[in-house]
Amino acid sequence: MTGMHRVAITGLGCIAAPGNDVPSFWAALKEGRGGIGPVASVPHDKLNIRIAAEVRDFDPARHFDERKLMLLDRFSQFTLVAARQAVAQSGLDFKSGLGRETAAIIGTGAGGMNTIEDAYTRLFGGNGGSSRQIPLTIPRLMISAASSHVTMEFGITGPSFAVSSACSSANHALGEAFWMVKSGRARAAVCGGSEACITFGTMKAWEALRVLAPDACRPFSGGRKGMVLGEGAAVAVLERLDEAKARGAAIIAELAGFGMTADAGDIVQPSEQGASDAMNLALKDGGLKPEEIGYVNAHGTGTLANDATETRALKRTFGAHAAKLMVSSTKSMHGHTLGAAGAVELVAAAMALKDGVAPPTANYQRPDPACDLDYVPNTARQAKIGAALSNSFAFGGLNAVLALRAV
């Protein structure tokens, strides 16, 4: 170890319902234009909830040759597309020796769900099914597949693994990578999250939880009816701030702090205390005072329980300053991308700092007495933002919060 380092974000990549790269994704968010619509990849006849935030106009053959595609579940495809964007923007070359000192950490909630569902359909399907499986089923479905493919794509031979902590997976992956670079255990990291589980089986399982909205995602709004499933991936390139400056890199934002807690309470119900504690730890880790935060990208799922609990947690953390915060949930536009959520929302938070624009909470209809903060309803807001938080609060009570600083 060589002491503590400040950490720069020098590359971002994203593929999600509002856009298949960062410029199109961010332009859509600033316009309040979402990607939620009728499900296209799953037959509707047995679905009760028929909307989702799917990645549209994505042709895997444009990104991968046939031999490579045989190895890749959809979640790994998304990961590599986002990673290529992020690495290209960063300008780093990991094959020059840097790869030995670079980490590759990707979060996902479920891994290769398309592969799993295809395999079980083949095995248990009509006419007695088939006992034969595709030989590459296991390498495609494993949760660590995406992180492994990132290492092979870029020649990264440092620490690499997957993180799975439900809807906090990406923030945990980003936070662990951040701490590696900050502590000197790595010079750089390619990190983020990916999810691709809009399948028939997954949709039916989420329907059974009774948390999906039938019409739209309306976080913090009166009349909200639940969350909307999404898919996609986002990847960030992190490196030491001083090295990024020395090589003349364009720095998007500084990743300043990370905090994580476990509620140790309920498998599905959120905790105000656990969420607040994670935010406080992220602030402390980043050397930030609560009043320095201008924007919070909220977990904001659109469920009754999450949004009210997160509002109370924000008040607990920020006190009187909570009333001055701009808080928005971009899930209103890209849906809840589960294990990818923190990474997709890191893109929104980092770009908010870079461009001085707080993205809106779309589909907001009317105030809810239990949610009484400034949620930037429906229209983006120009504002100089010095620092921001990005929240992820997962089933199982696993909380992960990132703190960012403008540069």
pLDDT at 294 over 50: yes
> What are the pLDDT digits (tens) for 317-349?
999 999 999 999 999 999 999 999 999 999 999
Q: What is the mean pLDDT of the chain?
A: 97
Distance from C-alpha of 302 to C-alpha of 337, rounded to nearest angstrom: 13
pLDDT at 128 over 90: no
> What are the pLDDT digits (tens) for 256-277?
999 999 999 999 999 999 999 9
The phi and psi torsions of 209 (rounded to 5 degrees) equal: -75, -15
> What's the average model confidence in pLDDT over 146-150?
98
Q: What is the pLDDT of residue 2?
A: 53
As a whole number of angstroms, the longest Cα–Cα distance in the chain is 64
**SS3 call for 362:** coil
**SS3 call for 239:** strand
Q: What is the CATH number of domain 7-405?
A: 3.40.47.10
The total of other beta-carbon atoms located within 10 Å of residue 100's CB is 12
The phi and psi torsions of 129 (rounded to 5 degrees) equal: 70, -170
Q: What is the pLDDT of residue 132?
A: 81
Q: Tell me the CA distances in angstroms from 351 to 12, 25, 305, one per residue in order.
A: 10, 11, 28
pLDDT at 1 over 50: no
Residue positions annotated with a catalytic role = 167, 299, 336
pLDDT at 129 over 90: no
Residues 6+ apart with CB under 8 A from 250: 10, 89
Query: What ranges do the domains of the chain cover?
Result: 7-405
> What's the average model confidence in pLDDT over 222-226?
98
CB 217 within 8 A of CB 37: no
Q: What is the pLDDT of residue 133?
A: 85
The phi and psi torsions of 303 (rounded to 5 degrees) equal: -85, 155
**SS3 call for 265:** coil
The verdict on pTM exceeding 0.95 is: yes
Residues 6+ apart with CB under 8 A from 58: 15, 20
Amino acid found at 3: G
Tell me which residue of 235, 243, 84 sits closest to 173, measured CA to CA.
235
